[in-house]
Structure 1
Amino acid sequence: MFNPSREQVRRFFCDAWKKHLERLPLVGAEVTAADLAIRHPEYHALLADSTGAIEQEWAPEAGQMNPFLHLSLHLAIHEQISIDQPPGIRAAFDSLRSRMDPHDAEHVLLECLGETIWRAQREGGPMDALAYVDAVRRKASLL
């Protein structure tokens, strides 16, 4: 499994954004990364300053969301949906997407995924994929 460092993740998103701005060819996950950046204009200045982006810290205690965590979760969700892993995530997403804007639907998945990851870390165990998909299905049924 690929386990990039914090700097590698940040550099990947900044490089994809730079290539997009310069109209250079994007390859593989860069295509999705640039698309995600386009949909998050609040991150454009940050992504354009790779040196600052690599060094900056975001404190959850201060209510700050790490933009690279946010973009990485979006990227993970895109991958999950494309391969339907965990099983059922694509149908749960499609159900949400039929009721709301696709980006807003992704944010519902982000919330559920973040909660699932947090719970696994807190309990010191593996991520409960079934609970994650069930959480998305519950949110979809409430809309």
Structure 2
Amino acid sequence: MFNPSQHDVRRFFCETFRKQRAGEILTPLEAIARDWIVQHPEYDDALKDVDAALAADYSVERGQSNPFLHLSMHLSIAEQISIDQPPGIRAAFTALAQRLGSGHEAHHQMMECLGEMVWASQRSGLPPDGAAYVDCIKRR
């Protein structure tokens, strides 16, 4: 099972940003990441310097949003939708995107549900509840 470290994730997004800017060929995963990076120009400064990215502290106490977590959640949700896992997530996403008039905004709403699912799993010690996650999305 692939389990990247925080530094691996930050390097991946910084390298994807660099390759995109240089017009270099991207892997399929980098191409998906690039699509989300382009939709978040507010993260350009965080992505342009890998050393600064590796040293950055995005703790809750500092009150900053973590661009690497945000982009990672976009990637996770895109993968979930592409394989319809958990079952029903693709249809829930499609309905939410239609209601909101934006796939990007639907992703942001889904991030709230994803965060709730992960938090509940960590708190209870039980596996993530995919059905509850999809139900949360349907209620948005």
Q: Aligning the two structures, in what range does the TM-score lie when normalised by the shorter sequence?
A: over 0.9
Using the size of structure 1 for normalisation, the TM-score is: 0.94
1:33-60, Cα deviation, whole Å (9 max, x unpaired):
1111111111011101111001111111
Q: Count the aligned residue pairs.
A: 139
Aligned counterparts of 1:111 and 1:5: Cα–Cα separation in 2: 23
The CA distance in 2 between the partners of 1:87 and 1:22, in whole Å, is 38
- CA distance in 2 between counterparts of 1:63 and 1:46 reads 15
Distance 2:119 2:68 in 1: 17
Q: Give 5+ residue unaligned stretches, structure 1.
A: none
The residue aligned with 1:19 is: 19
Q: Is residue 3 from structure 1 mapped to residue 3 from structure 2 by the alignment?
A: yes
Q: Distance in 1 between matches of 2:55 and 2:28?
A: 26
Matches of 2:39 and 2:31, distance apart in 1: 13
Aligned to 2:28: 28
> Post-superposition shift, 1:123?
1.4
Q: Please give the TM-score of this superposition, normalised by the length of structure 2.
A: 0.96
SS at match of 1:98: helix
**Percent same amino acid at aligned positions?**
52
- SS of the equivalent of 1:78 reads helix
Q: Deviations over 1:43-78 (max 9, x none)?
A: 011101111001111111343221111111110000
- Structural RMSD (CA): 0.9
Amino acid at match of 2:118: I
Q: Which residue of 1 aligns with 2:124?
A: 123
1:1-143 to 2 correspondence within 5 Å? 1-100=1-100, 101-139=102-140
